[in-house]
Structure 1
């Protein structure tokens, strides 16, 4: 009987080649590999898989307790599995079972410490919660549970003894760049490093179970046993072994849970050490190249790097490749290395191929050094029904999971693209962010732009969501119901959930979500919550029909929310400081944008009026809600002179045009108007109040001016910037007024003159006080707008000095008359009436 312990680096191409060659020489009759024994039944599926893949262990109903064991094509364990399955040799895993390692979090290995797997693991920056408690086979720290945090980096210790300051470079020189791995020498070196080492509790249990599995194989009569494990464990498995009773005592009484295992796709990005798990490597793409290149790896690597740069439009010739190869070999010779490593080829690529451009070097790093390879598992792999349903839909919709970002433009008028959009939205509800929705480049609501990138942890999310349903649609609908019924859900959350249900086409979940929304909206008295929630509801109502999704009852809720916002806004604008005013202004802007998307059809005549009966104001041609009486603000306590003057043509304080109705009649009249009219009436009533914050008043004035509801904007600006107001309030008013852009000052010389006169009239101290506000306001303008405003101001100053006018009205008269005829506008008393304003 012979037992061969082959100590390896878990993801090392040199170790992988050496293990394959050693197994062919030894011809063992059983192979033991470091990993969870529950996966023995999954070994037979390995030839059908495309690495990188990982073993996923999870506890049913508790997806947070999960672990991954990743394998690449250049992993020694993977090569041993392929050899064993091809030769018909039994392959078993010998590490501590996942049922024990997932049972108690306190028994899990500390993350981010060094491991026996190699120097990459020693430089691991920290934990990755997505990879679970058992990040990789044999990735526990070399000194577990050390109270002082001391740990042994075996590769670092050996590299230092050899005179290397870089453990990675030492490992490549003595192992990866050789044609073989001297397993006896590695075992001797690890024995020297472990001399006097006392393993921690978890490490001791793992090694005890490995020895237990080895003894079982011996008792079963196997004559030639090969054990592939992390090099750190070799001394613990080499004869003479400790008594079996001692190991049984260590393993007795371990906590246990029911664990299930399967294969899932993995990526090279997740193999990189910065992705978090202990035995990660920083250059999986480079190691893949070393393992697969039949000869001249440096020449092939730099030629491929040149192809990557040419694909991005960079001029790289064959002469560049030849010169970079020469430089890489020269650097290796100067440094005494047997073969140019990643450091040398990167420096050669930087100097010759990239000509010192760090961005081009980063491109090579991302595409080649790390790589974007995504593994694949076969249909025979055990999966939860939710995973199988997703895989079938991916085939039907021709959406292949890929590790590299890929952009998809969807036209929702096409059935295939509409189904793709619905699938991606449903997955987002389940926490599977396979697609990230971006800004559509086209116009209209029929287009969506998605960026797709598959990540391994999505399989874990699907396992976690498996209890919600057996299909993606049913699971997403149940998740929507669960979110709607949560106690901590807010009104904004519910409105967003309604929109997500419509986008995902989940009509079975929508009634419950709408019922929860209606109940929450009825109880929420904070108008800011309603303002934050309304935009999502309006989008859902406006674009639901575009996607062919029915949303009955949504219009009633939307209009009800807008009514409550209109009634509550006058109270909400009272007594605001700067921070509160800015927050409320965000809500006002959002509601104003949302109202523009709402249907302009009124809800119908007020109660008690016959259909078709003329309402007050119709005879004069003005909107019904501007002449019929006071706005809903009257119910909120606004002064009579601010609520009676609903017509823009009547100054504040003038008597109403018709007898003021009772409150119930007022609400009924306002509700019959279109949403836009109701909203503008509310803003007009609020804008006349003297106690408004300057930021709010300025923005309301601008909104009403753009809507054609004001013809006295210059008078309002003049009052706001008069000496009766503090300069800081005037600056806030300017900030609110110009928040929509600076083109207004470019095209309206009267307003520009008012701002210029006010600004030049400030003394030094006042100017210093308002400068930050003005800088923030004008800094938000586009550069052409700022330049045009400056030119207007200079032109006005020059005209004042010379006494000349910028425009000769007599010479401009024919051109203005022609333009007005084209636009269909008339002239009134020698002035053009455009957009509700007079222009000379």
Structure 2
């Protein structure tokens, strides 16, 4: 019978023990053909698997041609049994084939999920009840993961567990109701298996998830299988290989068929089950990692950790240490009981940092191919680990990379995040890079905008122009377009901003929108910009904002006042960059009105006073009057504290140098009632927290010296009772000022 030539191996999709057992079974069986649970659309990609320039972790990306947003990943690690089956087939020159239900079926059923592995789609029944958990419980385990690791992935067995596991699954499936999708997939796989048995002379091996093994032997009703599968879908799909990473193989990433420890699994795949060598190799890696982070990890500690992991394995009845024993030993010996270094070990070694590489000639969608070409030209690695890159915008290569990063951002692919822009008077940008494989799907989604990164970014920006609702959004898009060297889209966004700016926008929105335009005009972007149009628009927006600003500060709540404070600080520093003296004078008149007004929020009145004082436009005498009014008995203490917060605005120099201001503030604080002091203390503490450490320490010395002149470090209050009171208050002062004990 043809079924006698069928050999089904139930595996875990990413399991080193499963892969090793499968390799041994294939070497013994020597099949004429291998059938693998995987997307049928990807059969043409199998030929790439055996090449040296294909380095796992990798994934097959299947997507709908008409709507690339409908897509799914099928990941492979080096220790994935399916990957090893592909390599075995290539090395032995026998055909291999994916036999799972084509992804197009799922798309037509509206079951597409961009981050779900079809091969491990769990049914509702199995989500509510874990069948393998029952086997684990019978074996005395608390969870299925630990049981599977002990008996399959970290065990010393060969392939003898395959028939035993299949029998256990058959019993479990009798008590489980499967979903329609699972039944349809299994029907399709049975049809493919029948076809292979008919066309192939010799043994046929099937590699599939362990849960499917008994179902794939049921050949009783071919007609029912064909009916269940139904007609082939008309929706066209394509497939390609794409890089993957350890992080995205992990459970924590949300990947349905993920494993908790990809890095550990790769380690035991590489080192086998050598009980002695396994512990030595792993703890040596732990030691190297800790030393690279500046943490102590001596050779003696590594030896002790190896011994402890072996002892723990013996106590727990294990043939060799598993991950649990390795972690316990590392925590006790290498980390000194501190969980923080163990978290580092978990992220770098247990989960891992490996990223795959795809051969250059693998067929790719147009945008992915264009990005690959650009990355090669600019020598930019696509890594899922976080790295930083500094760009010199005076160099053509620096500008080109910055433009690429900004264009990808417009396509909703934030591979690179700007940490520091070119700043004032410099031509340098600092970027943080971290590639997420899901960005591959977003590249596919962006195909509707154009076949190249430049064209797609341009059309995506133009599409966004029509969706802009606020001037802040318009200003941000203008900046993005200019940084991405997309002048046509920038001009469209400028036109949209012009129309929005005259439609009754509030002053705070006008200010927020005009600030980036001013900085672009003053410092440029190292790219061509429509300077004349931008300048006219910025001047118009500033004038409108100055007219509306006094009314925008009236009767606003704390949240709105805090947001306004930040915007006014940025606006005050940006406005001189326009070089328009008339606007500056108008701005100062607005500030004078704010300081004297009673309807404006007290923090804004204080900030306005500070701006004028810094420019010498508010004489000391008038400032003292304003401060005295703000801190008078007639003013609620909370309002006085907010006025101080706005006036000091992160800089204590004014009260350190002006004894009168210091005295007024000191008097106000000391005369507060206990209840009022406690009520305003958080706000006072927040005000002081904005000072630099040096300023806070100088302020403490000034208080210690009696408040008159800023005394030298270590000077003391002369009066004995004063010194006693000062020592009693010192812990509170240190806490309010945010100083450490040694900074007293």
- Normalising by structure 1, report the TM-score: 0.79
Q: 1:200 aligns with which of 168, 179, 188?
A: 179
Matches within 5 A, 1:441-452: 444-452=425-433
Which residue is 1:738 aligned to? 648
- The CA RMSD measured in Å over matched residues stands at 2.5
Q: 1:751 aligns with which of 638, 658, 661?
A: 661
Stretches of structure 2 lacking an aligned partner (at least 5 in a row): 710-715, 717-744
Which residue is 1:6 aligned to? 9
Using the alignment, how far apart are the partners of 1:678 and 1:445 within structure 2? Answer: 30
Using the alignment, how far apart are the partners of 1:399 and 1:38 within structure 2? Answer: 31
Matches within 5 A, 1:94-243: 94-105=99-110, 107=111, 131=115, 135-141=116-122, 144-146=123-125, 150-154=128-132, 156-176=133-153, 177-182=155-160, 183-238=162-217, 240-243=218-221
Which residue is 2:93 aligned to? 88
Matches within 5 A, 1:543-622: 543-547=523-527, 549=529, 551-596=531-576, 598-600=577-579, 602=580
Which residue is 2:30 aligned to? 27
Which residue is 1:640 aligned to? none
Shift of 1:586: 3.2
1:288 matches 2:266 = yes
Residues 235-278 of structure 1: CA distance to partner in whole angstroms, max 9, x if unpaired?
1012x523111112222268663222111110010001111122
Q: 1:698 aligns with which of 599, 606, 610?
A: 606
1:18 matches 2:21 = yes
* Worse-superposed segment, 257-266 or 520-529: 520-529
Mapped contact 2:659–2:708 kept (Cα < 8 A): no
Residues 450-499 of structure 1: CA distance to partner in whole angstroms, max 9, x if unpaired?
1212221111111111221222222212111111111x532101101111
Which residue is 1:56 aligned to? 61
Matched length? 698
Using the alignment, how far apart are the partners of 2:673 and 2:381 within structure 1? Answer: 67
User: Against the structure 1 CA distance between its residues 385 and 11, is the aligned structure 2 distance closer, same or farther, given a 3 Å change threshold?
Assistant: same
State the secondary structure of the residue aligned to 2:359: coil
Shift of 1:79: 0.9
Q: 1:278 aligns with which of 238, 252, 256?
A: 256
Shift of 1:54: 0.6
Q: 1:68 aligns with which of 59, 73, 85?
A: 73
Which residue is 2:595 aligned to? 687
User: Against the structure 1 CA distance between its residues 323 and 686, is the aligned structure 2 distance closer, same or farther, given a 3 Å change threshold?
Assistant: closer
Matches within 5 A, 1:115-514: 131=115, 135-141=116-122, 144-146=123-125, 150-154=128-132, 156-176=133-153, 177-182=155-160, 183-238=162-217, 240-252=218-230, 257-293=235-271, 295=274, 296-439=277-420, 444-486=425-467, 488-514=468-494
Mapped contact 1:428–1:434 kept (Cα < 8 A): yes
Shift of 1:768: 5.2
Using the alignment, how far apart are the partners of 2:545 and 2:134 within structure 1? Answer: 69
Mapped contact 1:34–1:137 kept (Cα < 8 A): no
Q: 1:39 aligns with which of 39, 42, 45?
A: 42
Using the alignment, how far apart are the partners of 2:675 and 2:365 within structure 1? Answer: 71
User: Against the structure 1 CA distance between its residues 310 and 767, is the aligned structure 2 distance closer, same or farther, given a 3 Å change threshold?
Assistant: closer
1:781 matches 2:709 = no
The structure with the largest alpha-carbon Rg is 1
Which residue is 1:823 aligned to? none
Using the alignment, how far apart are the partners of 1:441 and 1:518 within structure 2? Answer: 26
User: Against the structure 1 CA distance between its residues 777 and 102, is the aligned structure 2 distance closer, same or farther, given a 3 Å change threshold?
Assistant: same
State the secondary structure of the residue aligned to 2:120: coil
State the secondary structure of the residue aligned to 2:55: coil
Using the alignment, how far apart are the partners of 1:151 and 1:17 within structure 2? Answer: 29
Residues 33-86 of structure 1: CA distance to partner in whole angstroms, max 9, x if unpaired?
111111111111212321111111112343332111101111111111112233
- Normalising by structure 2, report the TM-score: 0.89
Stretches of structure 1 lacking an aligned partner (at least 5 in a row): 109-128, 603-672, 800-805, 807-840
Shift of 1:197: 3.0
Shift of 1:577: 4.1
State the secondary structure of the residue aligned to 2:401: helix
Shift of 1:230: 0.6
User: Against the structure 1 CA distance between its residues 784 and 160, is the aligned structure 2 distance closer, same or farther, given a 3 Å change threshold?
Assistant: same
Shift of 1:178: 1.6
Mapped contact 1:104–1:255 kept (Cα < 8 A): no
Using the alignment, how far apart are the partners of 2:271 and 2:381 within structure 1? Answer: 27
Mapped contact 1:695–1:737 kept (Cα < 8 A): yes
User: Against the structure 1 CA distance between its residues 3 and 776, is the aligned structure 2 distance closer, same or farther, given a 3 Å change threshold?
Assistant: same
User: Against the structure 1 CA distance between its residues 94 and 696, is the aligned structure 2 distance closer, same or farther, given a 3 Å change threshold?
Assistant: same
Mapped contact 2:399–2:526 kept (Cα < 8 A): no
State the secondary structure of the residue aligned to 2:70: strand
Using the alignment, how far apart are the partners of 2:17 and 2:80 within structure 1? Answer: 9
Residues 617-655 of structure 1: CA distance to partner in whole angstroms, max 9, x if unpaired?
xxxxxxxxxxxxxxxxxxxxxxxxxxxxxxxxxxxxxxx
1:718 matches 2:628 = yes
State the secondary structure of the residue aligned to 1:523: coil
Using the alignment, how far apart are the partners of 1:200 and 1:691 within structure 2? Answer: 66
Mapped contact 2:25–2:159 kept (Cα < 8 A): no
* Worse-superposed segment, 768-777 or 535-544: 768-777
Residues 677-710 of structure 1: CA distance to partner in whole angstroms, max 9, x if unpaired?
3322322234333433322211111111112211
Using the alignment, how far apart are the partners of 2:610 and 2:422 within structure 1? Answer: 29
Residues 98-128 of structure 1: CA distance to partner in whole angstroms, max 9, x if unpaired?
00112233x46xxxxxxxxxxxxxxxxxxxx
Q: 1:529 aligns with which of 503, 506, 509?
A: 509
State the secondary structure of the residue aligned to 1:508: helix
Residues 542-582 of structure 1: CA distance to partner in whole angstroms, max 9, x if unpaired?
23254455544111111111010111112223333444433
Using the alignment, how far apart are the partners of 2:158 and 2:679 within structure 1? Answer: 75
Larger proportion of helix: 2
Mapped contact 1:32–1:91 kept (Cα < 8 A): yes
